[in-house]
Structure 1
Amino acid sequence: MSSPRPVDGRAAGLMVLLCLCWALQQILVKAVAADISPMLQIGLRSAMAAALVLLLMRVQGLRVQARSHWRGALAVGLLFGGEYVMVAEALRRTSAAHTVVFLYTAPIFAALGLHLRVPTERLRPLQGLGIALAFGGVALAFLGEPASPGAGAATDRVGDLLALGGGLAWGATTVLLRGSSLARAPASEALLYQLMGAAVLLLGTALATGQTAVHWTPAVLGGLAFQTVVVAFASFLVWFWLLRHYAAAMLGVFTFLTPIFGVTLGAWLLDEALAPSFVRGALLVLAGVVMVSAEGPLRGWLSRRGGRRQAADGAGLG
C-alpha cells in the first residue's frame, strides 16, 4: 500500500463538504422534531443506510464475515447505537449547537482510551495540555450562565450530559475499532455493523418509549432522504476513502469545522441562543481537541518556527 499523500485541494474541498453535512444532520433532526422524534428519525435513517451498505457490498462482491468478527461487531454496534440513543435524547432536551459541541469531544475520549490500551499511542505533553483545556471548556460551558430566557431553543443540563455521553461512546467506538478484528475488515463491513446496531437500539427505544408518531411532511421526507443517503451512507464512505489515500492527521484537523458549522447553523436556521459562557467554553473545547488530534502537525510547525527563529538569531549575530 502506498504511503498517504498530503492533503491537496480536492481533499480539502471534500472535507469541508463532509463537515457541513455532519453539522447539518443535527440541525435537520432538530428542525422536524415536532413531526417525528429524533429517536425514530435516526433509527430509520440507520436502517435504510444499512440496506444501502449491504447493496454496495453485494455490488463489490464482498461478503459479511459476521462469524469471524461477531464479538467486535456486537460491541461496536452497541456502542454506536448507544451513542445515537444519547444524541437523539439530547436533541429533544437541548439545542443542536450544544449537542454538536459536546458530541465532538469524542477525539478527547478516544485519545485517553488509546493512551491506556495502545503503547504506541501514548499522549504527548501537548496532548495532555489539550485534554486539560478541553475539559476546562466543558466545565465552563456547563457551569456558566444559561442563555436568555425565551431566546431561541431551550437547553438543559441533562441534554448536555447526554450529548457528552454520546461523545464518550463515539470515542470508545474508535478505540474498539482500532483494537478488534474489525480493524482488518473492509470499511463498508465495519460501517454496516455500526448502522445495524443503531437501527436496532434506536427503533427499539422509540417503540418502548412511545416515540413513534409521525407527520409525513415534505420536510420530514426530505430530511430523512438527506440523512440516509448523504450523511449515514455517502459521507462515511467518502471519509473512509480519504483516510486510505491522505494523511489522517491532516484530515482530522478539518473535522473541527463541524462544531463550528453546527453552532453557526443552529443560531442562523433554528434561532438558537448562545450564552457567552457556552461560546467561551466551546472555543476552549475546540482548541483542546485540535491540540490532541493535530499534535503531530502542530509540533512540526512549532519546530520549524523555532528553527527559523534560531537561524535568524544566528544571522543577526554574524
Structure 2
Amino acid sequence: MTASAAPPVAAPATPPAPAQRRAHLDPRAVALLLGCCLLWGINQVAAKAALTEIGPLWQAGLRSAVAGLLVWGWAMSRGIRLFERDGSAAGGVLAGLLFAGEFACIFVGLQYTSASRMVVFIYLAPFVVALGMPWIARGEALSLRQWAGLLLAFGAMAFAFAEGFTAPGSPQQWKGDALGVAAAVLWGGTTLAIRGTRLGAAPAEKTLLYQLALSALALCAAAVATGEALPVQWSVRLLGLFSFQAVVVTFASYLVWFWLVRHYAATKLSVFTLSTPLFGLLAGALLLGEGISTRLVAALAALAVGIVLVNR
C-alpha cells in the first residue's frame, strides 16, 4: 500500500519509529486477549455452520472484503493515514499472502474435518512463533521454564479434546487435519512477518488492511477460478453467521490483535491463544447447554499454569 503518486522532488516520508513493546502483559492486554480468544473459539463453529450455504473460498474472501471496508472506514473516521510511504509495502504483501493462505486452508479444511479438530491443529501456531522469534528479536527467546509452560499449555488443550479424537473419522479427514497444520504454520508466519519487517511499526489498521485487501482479492479470485458457486439468496441464518465472522471477528477482534502484536511481546501473546479451543467448549456449555467434564476442568487448570510459566 503505497501512495499512488509521489511529488517528483519530495523525499519519502520519515518512517515511523518502532513501537515500544512491553515485556509483560498488563491487565488491559490480558482482558483484550481473553476477549479475542473467546470470539475465536466460537468462530470456527460459525464458519463450519455457514459451509452448508456458501462455499469455503467465497466465505473467506467476502468476509475479508467486508471487514476491509470497515477497517478503511474506521481509519478514515480517526484520521489514520493508510497510504503514506513508510517502507511497509513488502512486509504488507508478504503478510497478506500468508493471511490468505491461512484462511484458504482453514475454510477448505473444514469440509473434511470437524471444527474441534481444526481448531486444535490451528493452535500449533504459537510454537511457530516461539521458534521463529529468537531470529527476529533476541529479547523474546523463551527460557527452559517458558518452553515447559508452552508445552504444558498445549498438552492441556490437546487433553481436553482427546475424547473427540477417538470418534471414527471419515476417509478424507486427514486432508482437513493437514490443512489445519498448514494454516498454523501460515498464521505463525504472518505474526513473524509483521514483527520482522517495517510493518511492525505501522498502525494496526494498516497492518490489518494489507491482509484483508490482499486476501479478499486472492480468495475471491480462487473461488472464481475453481468454479465455486456464490449463493444467489442469503438466508437470515447465513447473514447472521457471516456478519459475526466479518464484523465481530475479522474486523474488531483482529484489529485488537494486531494492536497487541505491535505493543507487546509476540511470544507471550501467542501462548494465550491456546485458550481459544477451550473457550469454544465453554461457550458451547453456556450457549448450547453442553456438559463440562472433569477432563475439561483439569485441562483449564493446566492451561492456566502453563500461561503463568510463560508470562512470569
TM-score where L is the length of structure 2? 0.74
Q: Percent identity?
A: 40
Equivalent position amino acid for 1:116 in 2: W
The structure-2 alpha-carbon separation of the partners of 1:294 and 1:65, relative to structure 1 and needing over 3 Å to count, comes to farther
Corresponding residue number in structure 2 for 1:108: 127
Query: Whose radius of gyration is greater, 1 or 2?
Result: 1
3-state SS in 1 of match to 2:51: coil
Q: Distance in 2 between matches of 1:240 and 1:61?
A: 15
Equivalent position amino acid for 1:169 in 2: L
**Given that residues 107 and 171 in structure 1 are in contact (C-alpha distance below 8 angstroms), is that contact kept between their aligned partners in structure 2?**
yes
Q: CA RMSD in A?
A: 4.3
Name which of 238, 245, 250 aligns with 2:256. Answer: 238
Corresponding residue number in structure 2 for 1:37: 55
Equivalent pairs, count:
290
The structure-2 alpha-carbon separation of the partners of 1:63 and 1:17, relative to structure 1 and needing over 3 Å to count, comes to closer
How far does residue 25 in structure 1 lie from its aligned partner after superposition? 1.5
Q: Greater CA deviation, 165-174 or 57-66? A: 57-66
Name which of 281, 287, 297 aligns with 2:311. Answer: 297
Q: Distance in 2 between matches of 1:257 and 1:136?
A: 11
Equivalent position amino acid for 1:202 in 2: L
Q: Distance in 2 between matches of 1:250 and 1:109?
A: 13
Q: Distance in 1 between matches of 2:131 and 2:112?
A: 28
Corresponding residue number in structure 1 for 2:198: 181
The structure-2 alpha-carbon separation of the partners of 1:240 and 1:113, relative to structure 1 and needing over 3 Å to count, comes to closer
The structure-2 alpha-carbon separation of the partners of 1:155 and 1:33, relative to structure 1 and needing over 3 Å to count, comes to same
Corresponding residue number in structure 1 for 2:107: 88
Unaligned runs of 5+ in 2: 1-18
How far does residue 295 in structure 1 lie from its aligned partner after superposition? 4.3
Q: Greater CA deviation, 34-43 or 240-249? A: 240-249
3-state SS in 1 of match to 2:227: coil
Name which of 219, 222, 226 aligns with 1:209. Answer: 226
Corresponding residue number in structure 1 for 2:179: 162
Equivalent position amino acid for 2:88 in 1: H
Unaligned runs of 5+ in 1: 273-278, 299-318
Q: Distance in 2 between matches of 1:171 and 1:97?
A: 19
More helix by share: 1
**Given that residues 23 and 258 in structure 1 are in contact (C-alpha distance below 8 angstroms), is that contact kept between their aligned partners in structure 2?**
yes
3-state SS in 2 of match to 1:92: coil
Name which of 93, 108, 120 aligns with 1:74. Answer: 93
Name which of 202, 213, 233 aligns with 1:196. Answer: 213
The structure-2 alpha-carbon separation of the partners of 1:8 and 1:181, relative to structure 1 and needing over 3 Å to count, comes to closer
Q: Greater CA deviation, 262-271 or 125-134? A: 262-271
Q: Distance in 1 between matches of 2:168 and 2:92?
A: 44
